[in-house]
Amino acid sequence: MTRTVLITGATRGIGRAVAARFVADGARVTITGRRAELVEGAAKELGATGVVCDATDPRAVQALAERFDTLDVLVNCAGGLGNPEPAATELESVLAQWRADLNGNLLSAVLTTTALKPVLAPGGTAVAVGSIGAERRGGSYGAAKAALGAWYAALSAELGPRGVTANVISPGYIADTDFFQGAMTDAREAALIAETHDKRAGTPDDIAETAFFLASVGARHITGQTIHVNGGAFTTR
């Protein structure tokens, strides 16, 4: 059976690797991003369908959802560090930063998952990409990713009786993305790698393979979980 797969935020980085993994499996893959030229280029290179959609815009998300009668796999990758415009006061700056991070990392996945969940087919899966920042980073980005985990756990209880799983993948440091927007220094990267047990950075393919597994028959009893993929930089027990 050819699976229908939607991956948000897939013009580059982690989302693009997830898209490539499902395309390689023969799936019918749709990718999104906010910039038309990047969406068009990535879709062409991947052999996917590209749709321009800002995951924080409810009308755009509704229009995206209306393209699907049925969906087997949803992977919410859209997100990143918020960059709000400078504000006049310190408190307004705090508010702008929190709104940007909650919008980009929590509400983006809430809107997309809510719009698509009616068409998620039995045997299907919803995945959202969280972050080790939920455990480690005290600010608005970490709080947004932590809330994403909480919301996805509740979503799992809602979708489970329909035979649909819902999980968050929480990556540690992943190289070869634009996440750090050029701000990663050699020293910072070395420190992040030193925190891992396997002494390497994660790759977008590490996350792509985890998403692919969560969408496989072997993962049907894994739901309501946060799956940490970080080389041991954060451990669970």
Ligand X SMILES: NC(=O)c1ccc[n+]([C@@H]2O[C@H](COP(=O)([O-])OP(=O)(O)OC[C@H]3O[C@@H](n4cnc5c(N)ncnc54)[C@H](OP(=O)(O)O)[C@@H]3O)[C@@H](O)[C@H]2O)c1
Q: Which residues are part of the catalytic machinery?
A: 141
For 65-75, give one letter per residue: b (16+ CB within 10 A) or e: beebeebbbbb
**Residue with Cβ nearer ligand X (67 or 162):** 67
Q: How far is the CB of 175 from ligand X (least distance, A)?
A: 7
Residues 113 to 142 in contact with ligand X, rule: CB under 6 A: 129, 131
C-alpha to C-alpha distance for 194 and 196, rounded to whole angstroms: 5
Residue 14 in contact with residue 33, Cβ under 8 Å? no
**What kind and span of H or E run contains 126?**
strand 120-129
| Residue window 28-57: x/- pattern of binding to ligand X, with contact defined by CB under 6 A | ----xxxx--x---------------xxx-
CB of residue 11 to ligand X, shortest distance in Å = 4
The residues, any chain, with a CB within 8 Å of residue 194's CB and separated by 6 or more, are none
Among 178, 197, 198, 200, binds ligand X (CB under 6 A): 178
3-state secondary structure (DSSP) of residue 45: helix
Comparing CA positions, the residue from 120, 228, 110 lying closest to residue 165 is 120
What does the per-residue mask of binding to ligand X show for 146-175, with x meaning CB under 6 A?
-------------------------x-xx-
Residues in contact with ligand X by the rule CB under 6 A: 8-15, 32-35, 38, 54-56, 77-80, 104-105, 108, 129, 131, 171, 173-174, 177-179
